[in-house]
Structure 1
Amino acid sequence: MASTFGGLNTALSALYAQRRGMDVASQNVANANTAGYSRQRADMVPTGGAVVPAIFATPADKAGAGVKVEDIVRLRDNFLETRGRAEHAQSSYLTGKQDLYTRIEGVFAEPSDTALGAQLTDFWAGFGDVANRPGDTAARNQLLQRAEVVADGLRAGYDALSSQWDTSSTQLGAYTTQLNNAADAVAALNQAITQATAAGMPSNEMKDERDLRLMELAELAGATTVARENGAVDVYIGGSTLVGGSTARHLVPTGANRLEDQAGAEVELRWADNNLEAVVTVGTMGAGLETLNNIIPGYAGELDAVAVSLANEVNSRHRTGVGLDGGTNRDMFVDNSAGVIGMTARTISVGLTLPEEVAAGTINGTLDGSLATTLSKLGSATNGPDSIYRSAVVKLGVESQTAQRRADIQGRVTGDMDALRFADSGVNIDEEMTNLISYQKAYEAAARVLTSLDEALDTLINRTGLVGR
């Protein structure tokens, strides 16, 4: 026999379900401005009647038995999240390179009246002054001062690049620590989520926190993820496992500690447990590795090439000349490392100390300025130091502009993807207000059903049989 009170149970289930819906809507509104929060939805399903008949029982009421909240669903699209992490990883990589090129442009500071290009121009003009006044020690002294300015400009440029390298190396170490901490956090959250899922406890907020950490790992090193059926996620970097369930691995930076040592010991990221190289090509750390191993050493090499060309071109000719003191076979530029390192932008210096040591011509005396005239024309040489330097500056400008353009384009792509992600998982206040009103009206209707059933039962129980008394 169907229960007389089945309607009460149906109305009561509606009260419970609609109240739960209002609770979920309230949680969404409360976290509308919480970073990383994903809106939630109460999934309601109808409760049907009994489908297995009992012995001697009349068939169940076909109207069903009410409603229940089957689950509190976290509205987040895994495809959009995966795409979002990939776009953020690429954006972090390109932004890191763009920032570096901007800093390197500050080192070269071209075009400028005081940068190395102008210093070289003044240096060659100094030879022209000596050629015009071979016997004037003031002109020779001015030439030596300009030579020292050029050498100092090369050393300062290298030192500035070395400082940038040191800063990038320190940042890579900090990013590695940040990545290791984030990996530990994901492993701990995996364990908590797995336990909560197995026990039927809520875990949506923990998943939101984990997604924030996963985005952090993607931005740092381009980490990718694979979800498990038990609620955990595995995290990979370059095809190797960073987080597996509740276990996290760590990375350590290895290699050179100074720019001048980089050629013999490239900076790498290695796994702490087996010392194998971790392949990181995107993200902030990918940009950091390229900075330390390619970009800064490349431009330091350009300055070295300028220094070597300057020394070779000037010294090879200056050795053939004669100074005012009669001396010959002298180098104007020398390696201050005494041959330990070799001529570089870091070690170049002026080897002459007295203006009489400057060779203006090939004949002893004060009237021969032929050699100085020849040297003054080196500034326009096709493969001279100026040409090498101009090529480096042009290359820097092109690469910087390219990096800027790529970063801007990727920024727009990433912004569009974030907009899609937020539209899918972000809280819309208007929508939540509509939901609240809908749940409220449904709750009021269920309460009215209870009232109607209560009045009917009151009539049945307390008033039946009173007619005619």
Structure 2
Amino acid sequence: MSGLFGTLNIGKSGMFAQQGAINVTSHNISNANTEGYTRQRAELQTTRPYCKPSMQNYAGPGQVGTGVEIAAINRVRDSFLDYQTRVELGVQGQYSSRNKFLSQIENILREPTDTAISGLIGEFFDAWGSFSDQAETSNARSVVIEQSKSLVNQLNHTFNELEQLKSNTQTQISEDVFTMNSILNQINQVNQQIIQVKVAGQQPNDLMDRRDLLLDKLSEKFGIETSREEFQGLDLTASNRAKNFQGSTSALGGEPPKVKVLDDKGKVILDKNNKEITKSLNLVQTLNPDDVGRFAYISDIKPAPADEQEKNKPISKGDAGVYKVTYYKNGDTTSDDNKVTINVKISDTKDFERLDQCRVLWTKDGDAITVDNNIKNGQIGEGEGCEFSQLKLFEPPSGALRGYMSVQKDIDEYENKLNNLAKGLAFSVNAIHTQSKDFEADTSTVMNFFVNGEDSTEDGEGKITAQNITINKKILENPMKIIAGSDPSTDKVGESDNARAMAISALRNTLMAIQKINRGSTRADFLKENEFAQKDGSIIKTFSKNTSGMTLDGYFNDIVGNLGIATQEANRMTTGQASVLASYQQQRDSVSGVSLDEEFANLVQFTHCYQANGKVISTVDELLDVVINGLMR
């Protein structure tokens, strides 16, 4: 029953409880500036009171309390705000990475400046116009050569800079893959520590803060989904849902692959309906923490040797065929021990571009994974192969990784458009200069003005790109090979005949179906889309305006315009998303962050309460002194 000694215990429990609360407050104040820290709160509850009245117990006016104790020390956390913040972190990461690289593409194109491609196209046609006015002078030919060199050099340089920027994005993807795997390993380790602490009956608040901080950092790289398990354990997978934005074309992806469940003998376990049992391959999981997926970075994609092709024919990069795909386990490129090469059969250019732009594979135990697990339980080892459709790529719907992948796609599109521009320029100028609808080899009197710097044959002209376009070496060596008039065999060419030079100059304002040029287009294909014939009163064949076409300058300006729109969208989304993210982070901080003013107030409150309990103990001590010592007198 309660008495002075009971009251003494009540005071003692009060002091201990308030001391614990002061310790929690002190911990909060100490970590006020610690990244990822969540403020903690000591949950106080009454201790078990004296038993209710019964035949063996004194029947008083009610249960008598026995004091206070700390029931738990909990984090103050809102899981909904955590979820929303991580979603917005992924979107912010996606658009900030896009904005960074799209701005660099703008710097590469350098529009509008005099040294950019648009200005050089104008100067190129100006040179031909001046040449048509004074075709008999060698100086006019030299000007044509110099302006043409400036244009092709700028095309070459721009393409090479885009290639370098694409290489930079791939380097960033490689670094992010390594970082992602490192974070996943840390989460997996902390996750197991949390479970162990909970099983022991403790509350691992600081470990849970560490795990949440790692989840925040991971969500910046790609969208994640988590599910809570027993003992505060956590299972983590990649999200396969994208947040919809006006003007956004984010593709869905990143869904974890399904893996077959095997028994101890390696046989597939079937359900009651005789169907294969499968499960999602998690990135972090509470049970079997080592049975998880990881990511690998594809460092190289190149055609397999001719003897490994299906028809024993070598292929050029991007065509259908078998490719040697080299990847590094966990994105760790520091050692060749992590390098794995597999064979992938690609059916068309779009599949190649998708693989080249993604560069990230799902793996398990270092081996690439197939979609339907039809090879060795879904894993592809060194030297083995599969169809591209079976290869499991990691294509997240959001995050910085998604941004880098989309930038690679943008760079490919801009490179293709620059290639089309180079082809349109070469086909149209060569057609007028040679007066031929089909490719013809150079003769002593007629030569192609633009050629493929790597291959000057007919196949080479069809493979002209912004990277390899150049001026015919023979014309560079002898500018007099430039034909101005209608008859190249006449000794008096240029003195009174400037038909070809005028026709080439007129290309400035000629509408042509440049947008229909593709990777395999030849001059003949180009001229099928554009009327090339002698007009009434014309002594040479020239182009007629194609009302559905574009001028060379207009086509390039369209490229620049689309880039400007994409950059503005990325910048707008980055700015807007920063505001949205800041709002959620502010709400989360208001719940979970440490307020020094509030902690100081709590400290004063707990201190006063501690002192009051001390006063109770002091008073009981005086009363006990009276009872024990005073009554003996």
How much does 1:390 deviate?
A: 1.0
Q: Which amino acid aligns with 1:243?
A: V
The 2-side partners of 1:427 and 1:399 are apart by 40
Q: Output one character per residue of 1:13-34: Cα deviation in whole Å (capped at 9) or x when no partner.
A: 1000000000000000000011
The 2-side partners of 1:37 and 1:195 are apart by 21
Report the TM-score when normalising by structure 1. Answer: 0.94
1:272 pairs with one of 363, 368, 372: 363
What is the aligned partner in structure 1 of residue 154 from structure 2? 153
**Within-5 A mapping of 1:144-183:** 144-183=145-184
How much does 1:344 deviate?
A: 0.8
Number of residue-to-residue matches in the alignment = 460
What is the aligned partner in structure 1 of residue 298 from structure 2? 254
Q: Which range moves more in the overlay, 249-258 or 134-143?
A: 249-258
**2:47–2:66 Cα contact (<8 Å) kept:** yes
Q: Which range moves more in the overlay, 437-446 or 337-346?
A: 337-346
What is the aligned partner in structure 1 of residue 578 from structure 2? 411
Is 1:344 matched up with 2:388? no
More helix by share: 1
What is the aligned partner in structure 2 of residue 242 from structure 1? 283
What is the aligned partner in structure 2 of residue 118 from structure 1? 119
Q: Which amino acid aligns with 2:579?
A: R
Q: Output one character per residue of 1:411-441: Cα deviation in whole Å (capped at 9) or x when no partner.
A: 1101111111111111000000000000000
Is 1:372 matched up with 2:501? yes
**1:235–1:243 Cα contact (<8 Å) kept:** yes
Q: Which range moves more in the overlay, 418-427 or 242-251?
A: 242-251
Q: Which amino acid aligns with 2:453?
A: N
**1:307–1:348 Cα contact (<8 Å) kept:** yes
Report the TM-score when normalising by structure 2. Answer: 0.70
Percent identical: 27
How much does 1:279 deviate?
A: 3.2
**1:169–1:257 Cα contact (<8 Å) kept:** no
How much does 1:335 deviate?
A: 1.1
Q: Which amino acid aligns with 1:49?
A: P
What SS is found at the alignment partner of 1:243?
coil
Q: Output one character per residue of 1:199-221: Cα deviation in whole Å (capped at 9) or x when no partner.
A: 12341111111111101110011
How much does 1:82 deviate?
A: 0.7
What is the aligned partner in structure 1 of residue 430 from structure 2? 315
The 2-side partners of 1:463 and 1:194 are apart by 56
Is 1:332 matched up with 2:449? yes
What is the aligned partner in structure 2 of residue 461 from structure 1? 628
Q: Which amino acid aligns with 1:196?
A: V
The 1-side partners of 2:137 and 2:106 are apart by 39
What is the aligned partner in structure 2 of residue 422 from structure 1? 589
Structure 2 segments unaligned to the other structure (5+ residues):
239-253, 257-281, 303-315, 319-348, 370-391, 437-442, 512-549
Q: Which amino acid aligns with 1:270?
A: L
What is the aligned partner in structure 2 of residue 184 from structure 1? 185
How much does 1:366 deviate?
A: 2.8
Q: CA RMSD in A?
A: 1.9
What is the aligned partner in structure 2 of residue 304 from structure 1? 419
What is the aligned partner in structure 2 of residue 130 from structure 1? 131
The 1-side partners of 2:569 and 2:34 are apart by 36
The 2-side partners of 1:401 and 1:239 are apart by 30
What SS is found at the alignment partner of 1:272?
strand
**1:381–1:387 Cα contact (<8 Å) kept:** no
What is the aligned partner in structure 2 of residue 22 from structure 1? 22
**1:14–1:67 Cα contact (<8 Å) kept:** yes
The 2-side partners of 1:4 and 1:286 are apart by 70
The 2-side partners of 1:405 and 1:290 are apart by 17
Q: Output one character per residue of 1:392-429: Cα deviation in whole Å (capped at 9) or x when no partner.
A: 01111111111111111111101111111111111000
What is the aligned partner in structure 1 of residue 247 from structure 2? none
**1:84–1:414 Cα contact (<8 Å) kept:** yes
The 1-side partners of 2:181 and 2:565 are apart by 36
Q: Output one character per residue of 1:72-128: Cα deviation in whole Å (capped at 9) or x when no partner.
A: 011111110011000000000011111111000011000001111111111101101
How much does 1:224 deviate?
A: 2.0
Structure 1 segments unaligned to the other structure (5+ residues):
none
Is 1:200 matched up with 2:367? no
Is 1:286 matched up with 2:330? no
What is the aligned partner in structure 1 of residue 46 from structure 2? 46
What SS is found at the alignment partner of 1:207?
helix
The 2-side partners of 1:233 and 1:59 are apart by 50
Q: Which amino acid aligns with 1:24?
A: V
The 2-side partners of 1:232 and 1:56 are apart by 46
Q: Which amino acid aligns with 1:169?
A: Q
